[in-house]
């Protein structure tokens, strides 16, 4: 039977940097598991985080889609939104609670989702730590600021 191959491996001419006694470095996978991999923390945090993603997701379907419908579709769409429109809605406790729930759920849901993304992609422990600190700071700041505005909103400021 006829057999042929093309393109042999390695450099034919010139000196190779690597040989049997000096092999090239192999490419290790990120954060590979070894016998020294830290043992668990024995908490249920990851389980609650997983459940929260699913439960908050279900509630967010209603909150976010309702929000988008009201803001962007009904009553003339986006052009109606202005200071008066917001002031009018936040005069009602129902919409205050709606927006508050949406703020907290979306922020915590999004923050936890980004925590997952950081866990997936950041390789060095230091990078992971600082990215998460940045994330948590931004989340706390946004949630607190939003909550403050919803509760202290003054329709009469000029």
Partner 1 sequence: MATPTMDKVGTDPSASPASPYITVTFRIRRFNPEVSDEAQWQDFQIEIDPKERVLDALHKIKWDVDGTLTFRRSCAHGICGSDAMRINGKNRLACKTLIKDINPEKPITVEAIKGLTVLKDLVVDMDPFFQAYRDVMPFLITKGNEPTRERLQSAEDRERFDDTTKCILCAACTSSCPVFWNDGQYFGPAAIVNAHRFIFDSRDEGGEQRLEILNDRDGVWRCRTTFNCTDACPRGIEVTKAIQEVKRALITRRF
The token pair that represents 17 in the structure block: 């940097």
Contacting partner 1 within 43-72 (CB under 8 A): 44, 46-47, 49-51
Distance (Å, whole) CA 125 – CA 119: 10
Distance (Å, whole) CA 11 – CA 24: 14
Which residue is listed with tokens 């908490």? 43
CB of 114 to ligand HEM, least distance (A): 5
**What does residue 14 show for φ and ψ, rounded to 5 degrees?**
75, 170
Asked whether position 136 contacts partner 1 by CB under 8 A, the answer is no
Asked whether position 15 contacts partner 1 by CB under 8 A, the answer is no
Closer residue to ligand HEM, CB minimum distance, 61 or 149? 61
Asked whether position 82 contacts partner 1 by CB under 8 A, the answer is no
Distance (Å, whole) CA 141 – CA 147: 10
CB of 104 to partner 1, least distance (A): 22
Closer residue to partner 1, CB minimum distance, 125 or 154? 125
Q: What is the DSSP letter of 153?
A: -
Distance (Å, whole) CA 113 – CA 56: 12
Closer residue to partner 1, CB minimum distance, 29 or 82? 29
Site string for ligand HEM, 97-126 (x = CB under 6 A): ---------x--xx--xx-xx---------
């Amino acid at each position: 039977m006829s057999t042929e191959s093309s393109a042999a491996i390695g450099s034919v001419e010139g000196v190779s940097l690597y040989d049997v006694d000096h092999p090239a470095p192999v490419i290790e996978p990120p954060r590979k598991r070894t016998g020294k991999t830290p043992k668990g923390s024995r908490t249920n945090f990851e389980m609650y985080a997983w459940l929260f993603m699913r439960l908050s997701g279900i509630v967010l379907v209603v909150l976010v889609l309702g929000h988008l419908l009201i803001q962007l579709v009904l009553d003339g769409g986006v052009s109606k939104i202005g200071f008066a429109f917001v002031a009018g809605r936040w005069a009602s406790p129902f919409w205050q609670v709606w927006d508050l729930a949406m703020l907290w759920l979306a922020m915590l849901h999004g923050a936890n989702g980004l925590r997952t993304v950081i866990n997936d992609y950041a390789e060095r422990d230091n990078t992971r730590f600082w990215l998460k600190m940045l994330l948590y700071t931004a989340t706390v700041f946004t949630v607190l600021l939003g909550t403050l505005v919803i509760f202290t909103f003054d329709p009469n400021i000029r």
